[in-house]
Amino acid sequence: MRIAVLAHLQDVGEAPVREAMGLMAQLGGEAQTLLLAPAAQPAVAAMGEVRLGVHAALADPDPEMAYAAALRLLGDQAPGLLLMPEGPLFEMIGARLAGHFGMSAVRDVDAVELAGEAVVLRKGAYGGKAYVRVRATGGVVAALRAGAFPAAEPPAGSAAEVQLGELPEGGQERKTVRDTAGDDLGRAKVIVSGGRGLGSAEGYESLRPFARMLGASLGASRAAVDEGWASPAQQVGITGRKVAPELYLAIGISGASQHLSGMSGSRLVIAVNRDEHAPIFEAADIGVVADWYQLWPHLQKALEG
Ligand SMILES: Cc1cc2nc3c(=O)[nH]c(=O)nc-3n(C[C@H](O)[C@H](O)[C@H](O)COP(=O)(O)OP(=O)(O)OC[C@H]3O[C@@H](n4cnc5c(N)ncnc54)[C@H](O)[C@@H]3O)c2cc1C
C-alpha cells in the first residue's frame, strides 16, 4: 500500500512530523513524506527523503491555498493511507482531500495496522473513555494524535524542493487572529495547568513563574478559560487540546471527565487540590492535598534554592 505523510511544518513543528514518519516506516510499503512550508527549511535536510512544497504564501495559508498546494504535492493518485499530524492543516483540508479522492477521514488516531487492502485505525471515543477500531477500505486520511507514536530515526535520502507556482487565494476577506498561547502544548514535555481553584487571573498568573522554573508550558481547564484567565488555545480537554507530556501538573482542577480526556496521554500526573475527595486524585499518580497558595511559597523557595 502507498503511504504518505502530509504536514505543514510551521503548523505542527518537527516532532509530530517525525512521529508520522515513524509510523509510516513501521507500517512499511511505499512511503513518501510531503511537507508544505513558506521557504526552504534547514530542519528538513535531516528528515531524509522529503518532497518540500514551497510557496511564500504558505506562511499563513487559507484553505483554498493549502488545498491546492496539497493536491500539487500529492498528484492525481492518492495514497491508500495519508497520515497527517492533528493540527490546523488537517482541520482546513483533511476532510476535503478525503472527499476529493473518495477516501474516509478519521481523526484522533493513536494506532494503525494494515490488514491487506484495509487499514485498521484506533481512535478515542466518549472523551477518551473508550476506543473505537475503524476498518477502512478504499483509502483513509488519518489525523494522528500528538505523542501517540515514536518519532522516526533520521532516514537516509535528501529533500527535494518543489516550487508550487501560483496558488489560488480564498475569495473571502480574511482577518487572521493568531493566538500563539497554546502553540507549544502539543509537544510540551511538561505542562502546568491551572483551574478555577486558583480563584483569579492573578492566581492563574502565579503559575507562570512556576512553569518557567520547570521549563513547562501553561495549560488550563475550561473553567479557567471561561473566566478569561487563560486563552482558549490553552484549554486542555475534550473541547480543547489533547496533550501527552511526560509530566502534567494539575493545580486547582477538580478533574471533570471532560478535562481528564484531554490529559489522559500524560505519562505522570501530579495534582494539587485542597479537597481530598476531588476526582482529579483518581487520575493522578501523585496527589498533593494542599491549598496552592500555601504550597507555592515553599515550592518557590525550594526551586530557587
Ligand atoms: C460539553 C462539555 C465540554 C467540556 N469541555 C471541557 C474541556 O475541554 N476542558 C475542561 O477542562 N473542561 C471542560 N468542560 C467543563 C468541565 O465539565 C468542568 O466544568 C471544568 O473542567 C471544571 O474546571 P475546574 O476543574 O478548573 O473547576 P472546578 O470544577 O470548579 O474545580 C476547581 C477545583 O479547585 C480546587 N481548589 C479550590 N481552591 C483551591 C486552592 N486554593 N488550592 C488548590 N485547589 C483548590 C477545588 O477543590 C476544586 O476541586 C466541558 C463541559 C462540557 C459540558
Residue nearest to atom 14 of ligand 1 (CA): 258
Residue nearest to atom 29 of ligand 1 (CA): 254
177 has pLDDT over 70: no
Cα of 196 vs centre of ligand 1, distance in Å, is: 6
Q: Which helix (H) or strand (E) holds 121?
A: strand 118-125
Planar angle of CA 139, 105, 265, nearest 5 degrees? 115
Residue 275, C-alpha cell as written in the block: 479537597
Residue nearest to atom 15 of ligand 1 (CA): 222
Cα of 227 vs centre of ligand 1, distance in Å, is: 11
- Look at 144-153, 177-186, 215-224, 284-293 and tell me which has the smallest mean pLDDT: 177-186
In the chain, the N- to C-terminal Cα span, in Å, equals 56
| Residue whose C-alpha is closest to residue 171's, from 64, 60, 57 | 64
For the entire predicted model, the pTM comes to 0.66
Q: Which of ligand 1's atoms lies nearest the C-alpha of 240?
A: 8
Q: Which of ligand 1's atoms lies nearest the C-alpha of 237?
A: 8
Q: Could you tell me which residues are beta bridge partners of residue 193? A: 219, 250
**Residue 14: CA atoms inside 13 Å, Cβ hemisphere, count?**
12
Helices (H), the chain: 9-12, 14-27, 63-74, 88-101, 201-205, 207-214, 222-226, 257-263, 280-283, 292-304
From 248, 273, 296, the mutation candidate for ligand 1 (largest count of ligand atoms within 8 A of CB) is 273
From 129, 210, 258, the mutation candidate for ligand 1 (largest count of ligand atoms within 8 A of CB) is 258
Cα of 222 vs centre of ligand 1, distance in Å, is: 7
Residue 98, C-alpha cell as written in the block: 478525503
178 has pLDDT over 80: no
Task: Please say whether the beta carbons of 69 and 164 come within 8 A.
Answer: yes
Confidence of residue 176 (pLDDT cuts 50, 70, 90): low
**What is the distance between the alpha carbons of residues 300 and 34, in angstroms, rounded to a whole number?**
45
Q: Which of ligand 1's atoms lies nearest the C-alpha of 291?
A: 42
CA distances from 117 to 51, 107, 136 (A): 25, 20, 9
Q: Which of ligand 1's atoms lies nearest the C-alpha of 280?
A: 49
**What is the distance between the alpha carbons of residues 246 and 267, in angstroms, rounded to a whole number?**
5
Q: Which of ligand 1's atoms lies nearest the C-alpha of 220?
A: 11
Confidence of residue 172 (pLDDT cuts 50, 70, 90): low
Res 152: pLDDT: 80
Q: Which of ligand 1's atoms lies nearest the C-alpha of 253?
A: 25
Q: Could you tell me which residues are beta bridge partners of residue 286? A: 270
Cα of 251 vs centre of ligand 1, distance in Å, is: 10
Cα of 185 vs centre of ligand 1, distance in Å, is: 19
Domains and CATH numbers, the chain: 2-163 (3.40.50.620), 185-304 (3.40.50.1220)
Q: What DSSP line would sit under 182-235, residue for residue?
A: TTTGGG-SEEEEE-GGG-SHHHHHTHHHHHHHHTPEEEE-HHHHHTTSS-GGGB
- Look at 6-15, 166-175, 219-228, 262-271 and tell me which has the smallest mean pLDDT: 166-175
Confidence of residue 45 (pLDDT cuts 50, 70, 90): confident
Ligand 1 contacts (CB < 6 A) are 195-197, 221-224, 235, 237-240, 252-254, 256, 258-259, 262, 272-275, 278, 291-293
Res 248: pLDDT: 97
Residue 88, C-alpha cell as written in the block: 490546523
29 has pLDDT over 60: yes
Residue 241 DSSP label: B
175 has pLDDT over 90: no
CA distances from 27 to 38, 46, 149, 216, 234 (A): 30, 21, 12, 33, 33
User: How many residues are given for the chain?
Assistant: 305
Quick: pLDDT tens for 113-160.
Answer: 999 889 999 998 876 678 899 999 999 999 999 888 998 876 777 888
